[in-house]
Amino acid sequence: MGFFKTVHTLCTRTSAFPDLLGTPVWRAILHSLLLALLCPFLVATVKTCREKKDCADTLQRLEQESGGFGFCGKTICFGGSFGERHYTFELFGSDVRLDYVTEKQQLEKMKPDHWREQSGVLLTKDQAIFWTKTPDHSFLFWNIPAEIVQAYLEPESTEGNHTEKLYDIAREASSAPRSAGELLAAAKVDTPQTGQEKAAPEFKRQDTAGILYRLLTLFWSLAFLQLLSECLLMLIFGGLCFALMEFLYLRMMPNKLPFGKVYMLTLYAMFPAMIIASLSILLGQTFLSFQTVFLIAFFIYQLFSFKKLGLFLNPPDKRQQNDFPEDDDF
């Protein structure tokens, strides 16, 4: 049975397991991996398309208010006067704070503990610090040097591959929550002394369309990888645990199935649950997590499916049925 026909059969009835008994385990694993790629791909694509207009409006507003974002040589800068104020934008459904700090005095006035936004970017000339708050008001942050930010936005004009270095920063930066003081300490702001000022290199403005494209690409990648990891986690660990439970349940019956067959059917039982959980994200449901919706849908589906499979493998004895004839009067 082909992939799409299998998905359609599983999503339209709970009595499909007898038709799948002849399916080899490797094909079930292949179909599961294919669906685990397809669902995150569609969810990430739809979510990115929804956010495209908001991202474009946000970047346009930022360009108008700050004079445009760009680089002066290998440092981050803005075309106009950013000032000591911060900007708050709605991005990807939540408020994001943007601060641009060029002097230590500005940094000393900051009180991150009182920021109402839950995530944001703290920019200096030499770095971009991406931060997010934890439930206990601590901070997780990733300190990205300006040269890597420039390499991401201008890959054709920079030498060397900074992708591996960016991954190292993401792994090492914030494995544990940090305090507000540690967040500010990570910002390197060196105010030159009198007589040490140097002429700033020519300002090179970044194209808004290019920033939008790379921002949406990054958002799509994060959304895809997050959902893909959750799907694979459910397939690997959830599949093995529930397959073992169903295997022990079927062992009590006269006609049994080997563990490989039970594992194959358990993987297929996850198909409707994975689709329902993905649809819940697309519909904007935020009350229940992806894993919760998945487990609820999977538990209900596999309960009915394996019960019908048990009746198929071990039909009730006709003599037992004759001992309890149906009363036609009712």
- Compute the average pLDDT of residues 53-70: 79
The answer on pLDDT for 277 being more than 90 is yes
Instruction: Give per-residue pLDDT as tens, 282-324.
Output: 888 778 888 899 999 999 998 888 888 878 877 776 445 444 4
- Let me know whether 184 and 84 are in one domain: yes
**Model pLDDT for residues 204-257, shown as the tens digit of each residue:** 777 777 778 877 887 888 889 889 988 998 888 888 888 888 888 777 777 778
pLDDT tens for each residue of 101-122: 877 777 778 888 888 888 888 8
Band of pLDDT at residue 167, cut at 50, 70 and 90: low
Query: How much is the average pLDDT of 137-152?
Result: 80
Bridge-based pairing state of the strands 94-100 and 119-123: parallel
SS in 3 state form for 203-221?
A: EEECCHHHHHHHHHHHHHH
In a domain, 64, yes or no: no
Task: Determine contact, residues 20/265, Cβ cutoff 8 Å.
Answer: yes
- DSSP label of 113: G
DSSP character at residue 327: -
Tokens of 267: 């993987």
At 57, list the tokens.
Answer: 């409006």
Q: Are 39 and 106 found together in one domain?
A: no
Q: What is the mean pLDDT of residues 65-75?
A: 79
82/176 same-domain check: yes
Query: CA-CA distance, 158 to 147, in Å (whole number)?
Result: 9
Whether 35 shows a pLDDT value over 90: the answer reads: yes
Pick the range with the lowest mean pLDDT from 139-153, 196-210, 239-253: 196-210
Per-residue pLDDT, 161: 55
Q: Looking at the structure, do residues 79 and 184 belong to the same domain, yes or no?
A: yes
Evaluate whether residue 267 is within a structural domain.
yes
- 181, 231: one domain: no
Are residues 262 and 300 both part of a single domain?
yes
One domain for residues 36 and 80: no
Residue 36, pLDDT > 90, answer: yes
Q: How confident is the model at residue 61 (pLDDT cuts 50, 70, 90)?
A: confident
Beta-sheet strand order (sheet of 139-145): 87-91, 94-100, 119-123, 127-133, 139-145
**pLDDT at 329 > cutoff 50:** no
Look at residue 74 and give its three-state secondary structure. Answer: coil
Mean pLDDT value across residues 28-38:
93
Which pLDDT belongs to residue 289?
86
What global pTM score does this model have?
Answer: 0.68
Distance (Å, rounded) from C-alpha 148 to C-alpha 294? 38
Domain assignment of residue 211, yes or no: no
Secondary structure of residue 269 in the 3-state scheme? helix
82 shares its domain with 136: yes
3-state DSSP call for residue 304?
helix
| pLDDT, position 1 | 67
Whether 93 shows a pLDDT value over 90: the answer reads no
Percent of residues, the chain, with pLDDT higher than 70: 82
Work out the pLDDT band at 196, boundaries 50, 70, 90. Answer: very low
In which band, very low, low, confident or very high, does the pLDDT at 165 lie, cut at 50, 70 and 90?
Answer: low
Is the residue at 122 inside a domain? yes
Let me know if residue 248 belongs to a domain.
yes
What confidence score (pLDDT) does residue 31 get?
93
For residues 20 and 83, membership in a common domain is answered with no
Host domain of residue 83? 69-190+201-205
Query: In the chain, pLDDT over 90 holds for what percent of residues?
Result: 12
Give the residue ranges of DSSP H helices in 67-197: 104-109, 146-153, 163-172, 180-185
DSSP 185-208: HT----PPPTT---PPPPEEEPPH
Which pLDDT score, from 0 to 100, does residue 201 have?
Answer: 66
Report pLDDT for 166: 56
The residue among 205, 236, 269 that closes a domain is 205
Indicate whether 60 belongs to any domain.
no
Q: What is the chain's Cα-based Rg?
A: 28
Q: Check: CB of residue 197 under 8 Å from CB of residue 156.
A: no
CB environment 278-300: b (16+ within 10 A), e (fewer): bebbeeeeeeeebeebbbebbee
* Count of the separate structural domains present in the chain: 2
pLDDT given for residue 150 in this prediction: 79
List 130's β-bridge partners, or say none: 121, 142
75 and 41 together in one domain: no
**Alpha-carbon span 123 to 89, nearest angstrom:** 15
- Could you tell me if residue 251 is inside a domain? yes
pLDDT of residue 42: 94
| One domain, residues 84 and 130 | yes
Residue 185 and residue 76 share a domain: yes
Q: How are strands ordered across the β-sheet holding 203-205? A: 75-78, 69-72, 203-205
Is 181 buried (19+), middle (13-18) or exposed (0-12) by CB count in 10 A? exposed
Region 24-45: mean pLDDT is 92
Instruction: Pick the last residue of a domain from 205, 237, 266.
Output: 205
Whether 234 is in a domain gets the answer yes
